[in-house]
Structure 1
Amino acid sequence: MSTAPSYSPPPSGAAAGPLPAAAARTPLRLFLTILELAALGVIGSGLVGFLTAWLFGGVGLLFVGVGIVMLVGLVYALFGLGWFEIARLNGLYGFDLPALRWRPRERPGFGGWLLSLWRQAYNGRMWRAIANFAIACALGSMVLRLMTWFGWSAVTAFAPLFTGGDVDTGWGTSYPRAWAPVLGGAGAAAAVVGIISLALLHRVISRGIVATPDRNLDLSEQVRTTTAQRAGAVRAADVERTRIERDLHDGVQPRLVSVGMTLGMAQQKIDTDPEAAKALIAEAHTSTKAAITELRQLARGIHASVLDDRGLDAALSALAGRSPVPVALDVRLDGRCSRDAEAAVYFAIAESLTNAAKHSRASECRVVVRKRDGGRLWARVEDNGIGGATVIAGGGLDGIGNRVLAAGGTIRLDSPVGGPTSLEVSVPCAS
């Protein structure tokens, strides 16, 4: 729940307090804007030309294969340029815009990387930042020309001090030296007005292109994310239901059937052979306790109650204590995240440790959990097994991916043949 901020009027005589500081910041910011535009006018135009040549060179060399590498590198270069432009505007104007981030992978492996690269190539926010950079370079070139004009006008204004005749304009004409102070002063003033106007125009353009969000793009991104999360949630629920059915059918159900048959045999022998009946009842009692243990583990796999009661750190400690593979646990969290985020990370770690025990032949595992900048819960599970893990529909890794996707997170799997296997998940804390 959010509340509207409240403001109380300042006491008499205090209202003018912040104005001098703001007034002092405005000329400084304007001066810094002019300097940055001048710098962009010097180096930015060359950079834009270089990137344009890079683009056409990559397209021209596509038929020999080198162009593909060049275009991939160009996407990364454009991403870096867009990131720099947003950081520059934040530092100059204090827009407090979120940093440009690379589009996360939605699938592991090479195909997931290609998809994230393609999604980044048409990232509207990146292209708006690049467009703003190109416009700033053009404005910077104009600022440099006006600075040159200002210098020439200033020199002209003092021409009567060092010339005795008419003043040469440099274009094959001249005018009386008495006009020089007026024309030079007017030219210098016009240049200053033009430079300041370009600096103010740069702020307006930057606010319109970069600082103002594109509502249509934002809505499209929200719809895409919501659709993917819903599909992941449905798929995760289906995989979880299949797992529960399999565990019940293959584990608890046969054991309970066996208990029933054993008790039936004991009932038949209780009159004729009491000792054998007692042994059968003891066997049924042992099987019943084993079935209860399996049901408890199955329920814990659905949801760990300790996760709600004591948090992710305690739940993972209990999980590591039950793991047949030794686990080195490193959890550093400064507070709780949402229930969905903690449950998704817990499930991913639990399933990864189960896979390591069943398939990887690992002798040790390492689990690292952190809360990272941007309000994301990040975890990494690594084992020293044989590697070669792949995502199979309906399998454990598929369940992890769908569970994490449903929570709005991302997953990254790295499992070369021969090992080691590492799994990284990142989930928004407020998911």
Structure 2
Amino acid sequence: MTSQIATPPPATAVKPPYRLFLTILHLAAVGALGGFIFAALGGLLGTGIGLLFAAGIGLVLLVGLVYALFGVGWFEIARVGALYRTPIAPLHWRRRDRPGFGGWLRSLGRQAIDGRMWRALANFAITAILGVVVIRLFTAIVWSAIIAFAPLTDAEAIVGPFGGGGIPVVWAPLVAILGIAASVAGMIGLALLHRTLSLAIVVRSRETELTEQVRASSAQREGAVRAADVERTRIERDLHDGVQPRLVSVGMTLGLAQQKIDDDPASAKELIAEAHTSTKAAITELRQLARGIHASVLDDRGLDAALSALAGRSHIPVSLDVRMDGRCSREAEAAVYFSIAESLTNAAKHSRASEARVTVRIREGNTLWARVEDNGMGGAQVQPGGGLDGIANRILAAGGTFRLDSPHGGPTSLEVNVPCAS
């Protein structure tokens, strides 16, 4: 006979009655504070519009309004996710797609019209309205509990919970019971309504999530294709402009040495020595080219060691600051490594920089973040087929983000974010 042992529920499981009680508390809290919050937001809007042309004060207030709306939206999404134990992606500020003040202004504008933020604000407003009703229902419960003892007094009639005509004392106990039952039922109904509305408004539908995944997958695939094209073009250019001419020169030098080996052995030896030197240089270039395709030390010893070797080979001094707890996926580390390598190459070749700084961290959300900054003359731009275009495509293919800030006069900074599990 086989015995079966019942598995206890997880410690994090919460019973529905307790969840309803938490929802009612949330409604009451938001109902009590929502009016003040919306009054403050309305005050910012009105004052900002009124002072729009007063030395730019109105613009500052309107910018603050966007940040305040973002804060409320972020709080609402976090609140709903924590209340119903539903995995909801937090609200993130729109990233810059351009460097400098113009990029920040564009991100501010995109955030001001962000649909997800406004859905969260709408849900917060609905919650505040439901919360006000919950507070009134709680007042009705308190009133009902008090009038239940009305027959013990000398009063002939009592006032209703929301004003109005008097109620005979003889009916007070029955009215109290009905009032408590109706108020509790109303609170439970509002809690259930809040759950339905919140999950419908704040949580994205499965269809929307699949659409976003398809769009992200398409973007990653396009980035991978473009990155492969850029890499192939770079390899062809390095072979054509570097190794190939040197090997041709070696062949010609050996041919001349072969012709002079009988008549002028001394000159032939010099030519052979020259060909030997050129051959070693070609081997070095091939090794560098192979290292540019794949860094074996990256697999063997990790990103920290690979970057240390990269900084040691750099033509300009590099200050390296790498703090990583553990390893990321091979694809993520490779994308960040080659982005840093290309950035240092650009800094040495084009920016006239005298030093560079590389910072690498694993940030919250299991994201590999890196920043490369040099003190060069700036003005770097993403050109189709160029090194920066290759970085952008490689990072996009890994599911990450890329940001370049390079004003004229410098400095130039490049930041990349790649999911560790890409």
Shorter-chain TM-score bucket reads 0.7 to 0.9
CA contact (8 A) 2:99 2:406 kept: no
* RMSD (Å), alpha carbons: 3.2
Count residues in correspondence.
Answer: 419
TM-superposed CA distance for 1:59, in Å, is 8.4
Matched with 1:243 is 234
Gaps of 5+ in 2: none
Aligned counterparts of 2:13 and 2:221: Cα–Cα separation in 1: 48
TM-superposed CA distance for 1:74, in Å, is 4.4
Deviates more, 1:46-55 or 1:260-269: 46-55
- The one-letter code matched in structure 1 to 2:268 is A
Q: Which of 289, 299, 302 is 1:311 aligned to?
A: 302
Q: Which of 33, 37, 43 is 2:33 aligned to?
A: 43
Matched with 1:184 is 176
Find out whether 1:336 has 2:327 as its counterpart: yes
Matched with 2:369 is 378
Residues 102, 171 of structure 1: CA spacing in aligned structure 2 closer, same or farther, 3 A cutoff?
Answer: closer
TM-superposed CA distance for 1:429, in Å, is 1.7
TM-superposed CA distance for 1:98, in Å, is 3.0
CA contact (8 A) 1:124 1:217 kept: no
Matched with 2:402 is 411
CA contact (8 A) 1:362 1:386 kept: yes
TM-score between the two structures when normalised by the length of structure 2? 0.86
TM-superposed CA distance for 1:166, in Å, is 3.5
Matched with 1:32 is 22
TM-score between the two structures when normalised by the length of structure 1? 0.85
Residues 302, 395 of structure 1: CA spacing in aligned structure 2 closer, same or farther, 3 A cutoff?
Answer: same
3-state SS of 1:360 partner: coil
- The one-letter code matched in structure 2 to 1:420 is P
Aligned counterparts of 1:214 and 1:265: Cα–Cα separation in 2: 75
Deviates more, 1:333-342 or 1:288-297: 333-342
Matched with 1:209 is 201
Residues 115, 168 of structure 1: CA spacing in aligned structure 2 closer, same or farther, 3 A cutoff?
Answer: closer
Aligned counterparts of 1:259 and 1:38: Cα–Cα separation in 2: 84
Aligned counterparts of 1:301 and 1:320: Cα–Cα separation in 2: 14
Aligned counterparts of 1:245 and 1:37: Cα–Cα separation in 2: 64
CA contact (8 A) 1:332 1:371 kept: yes
Aligned counterparts of 2:50 and 2:209: Cα–Cα separation in 1: 34
Matched with 2:150 is 159
Q: Which of 191, 195, 205 is 2:187 aligned to?
A: 195
3-state SS of 2:202 partner: helix
Matched with 2:137 is 146
Aligned counterparts of 1:295 and 1:336: Cα–Cα separation in 2: 29
Aligned counterparts of 2:12 and 2:417: Cα–Cα separation in 1: 42
Residues 10, 273 of structure 1: CA spacing in aligned structure 2 closer, same or farther, 3 A cutoff?
Answer: same
Aligned counterparts of 2:311 and 2:37: Cα–Cα separation in 1: 53
TM-superposed CA distance for 1:115, in Å, is 5.5
Aligned counterparts of 2:171 and 2:250: Cα–Cα separation in 1: 114
Aligned counterparts of 2:164 and 2:361: Cα–Cα separation in 1: 72
Provide Cα deviations, 1:66-89, integer angstroms capped at 9, x if missing partner: 887766554433322221012212
Deviates more, 1:80-89 or 1:382-391: 382-391
Matched with 1:4 is none
TM-superposed CA distance for 1:139, in Å, is 0.8
Deviates more, 1:241-250 or 1:56-65: 56-65
Residues 120, 167 of structure 1: CA spacing in aligned structure 2 closer, same or farther, 3 A cutoff?
Answer: closer
Matched with 1:423 is 414
Alignment of 1:1-400 (within 5 A): 11=5, 27-48=17-38, 51=41, 73-106=64-97, 108-109=99-100, 112-113=103-104, 116-117=107-108, 120-121=111-112, 123-169=114-160, 173-211=165-203, 213-400=204-391
3-state SS of 1:280 partner: helix
Aligned counterparts of 2:156 and 2:335: Cα–Cα separation in 1: 85
- The one-letter code matched in structure 2 to 1:356 is A
3-state SS of 1:369 partner: strand
CA contact (8 A) 1:106 1:410 kept: no
Matched with 1:5 is none
CA contact (8 A) 1:105 1:410 kept: no
Residues 168, 205 of structure 1: CA spacing in aligned structure 2 closer, same or farther, 3 A cutoff?
Answer: closer
TM-superposed CA distance for 1:180, in Å, is 1.9
CA contact (8 A) 2:100 2:407 kept: no
Deviates more, 1:135-144 or 1:259-268: 259-268
Provide Cα deviations, 1:355-408, integer angstroms capped at 9, x if missing partner: 121223333322222222222211111223333322233222222111111111
TM-superposed CA distance for 1:350, in Å, is 0.3
TM-superposed CA distance for 1:154, in Å, is 3.0
Aligned counterparts of 2:406 and 2:413: Cα–Cα separation in 1: 6
